[in-house]
Structure 1
């Protein structure tokens, strides 16, 4: 995204990704995008038709980038790490999830399905515990993975780091998360039993 040798269309898209991620789609004008890209507003509309068309192009570019190419399946949740290489894309993806764009919603559903299959293979191979509700577990797992993306500022502050995407900070956060996934937090089942009791009392 930082290359100086880009087509006008790519410069417009990158400017939109940056501004949409920082301020939200509704707060950014076509004129502001054109100014950052160094083109006219008319050229933005020529390439994308409207601001909504530009937003959809940004979403499509984001999903393709995270997949490693439009023809490549996600494979496993490790592909989510691609977003950490580009601050602009990281902000844009966080904003897209919060704004509820169609493409971001479809991508979230897709990675939950991929994660459910991945964890299912782990159950079959013996390195993942079985669960009564594998789909919900996959959704919760993805929520954990997205936490540093959506709450980047707050998690960074809590950990006393400037950028959670920086390698040492990311490894620190990830190590703690993996420890929780592997070893758990609670030493017995009293909290789980209390939670199950709430459900039984409601039925």
Structure 2
């Protein structure tokens, strides 16, 4: 009797295993053959699910984003205030710092490669943000889109500084400062939450 395969689940399992392969070799350097070898599947199987490396990467980023949001929801589900939720998110990011640094580096490399290739797919990351903006807003209990974007920029900058100076630059001081600033801002702008 033939084996019954849930193709959508299998595709997701393949995607979940791809991150480390991309992080190890880099988006531009890794080939579909190397990805297939790393996943222990045939190249034909890989192409059956993903017609190109670009499509595979884009689907992987979308799946990672969903997984990250779900994990963050678990982290914040018992937190009631906006500041408690944001603090929990910072703690979550700090615990998984290496993963988030690798993720940002891959996204920048993908962006650079797309730019070099003259691709019109540069909007992947803005599209993912738009697709999940409401979930992120609900996650941290902030309605103000500008404040959400500022927090995203702060997190990206924090990870970048940690990457460049992990010995001297810690999470604690800048997070403590932004939390103080957020408290003052939210006290003066309660409509933001």
Q: Please tell me the TM-score bracket, short chain as reference.
A: 0.5 to 0.7
Report if aligned partners of 2:36, 2:46 keep a CA contact under 8 Å in 1: yes
Q: 1:142 aligns with which of 152, 169, 178?
A: 152
Structure 2 spans left out of the alignment, 5+ residues: 1-8, 72-76, 112-121, 186-193
Query: What aligned pairs does 1:30-49 form with structure 2 within 5 A after superposition?
Result: 30-49=32-51
How many residue pairs align between the two structures? 152
Q: Is the 8 A contact 1:20 1:28 kept in 2?
A: yes
* Native 8 Å contact 1:66 1:80 kept in 2: no
Which of the pair has more CA radius of gyration?
1
Paired position in structure 2 for 1:13: 15
TM-score by length of 1: 0.53
Over aligned residue pairs, what C-alpha RMSD do you find? 4.0
Give the match for residue 102 of structure 1. Answer: 123
Does 1 or 2 have the higher relative contact order (CA < 8 Å, sep 6+)?
A: 2
Q: Distance in 2 between matches of 1:155 and 1:112?
A: 30
* Gapped regions of structure 1 (runs ≥ 5): 1-6, 70-74, 121-133, 160-168, 185-203
Normalised to the residue count of structure 2, the TM-score between the two structures is 0.55
Q: How does 1:1-203 map to 2 (within 5 A)?
A: 9-10=11-12, 12-68=14-70, 78=86, 84-85=95-96, 87-88=98-99, 91-96=102-107, 99-100=110-111, 102-109=123-130, 118-119=141-142, 136-159=146-169, 170-171=171-172, 173-182=174-183
* CA deviation after TM superposition for structure 1 residue 151, in Å: 4.0
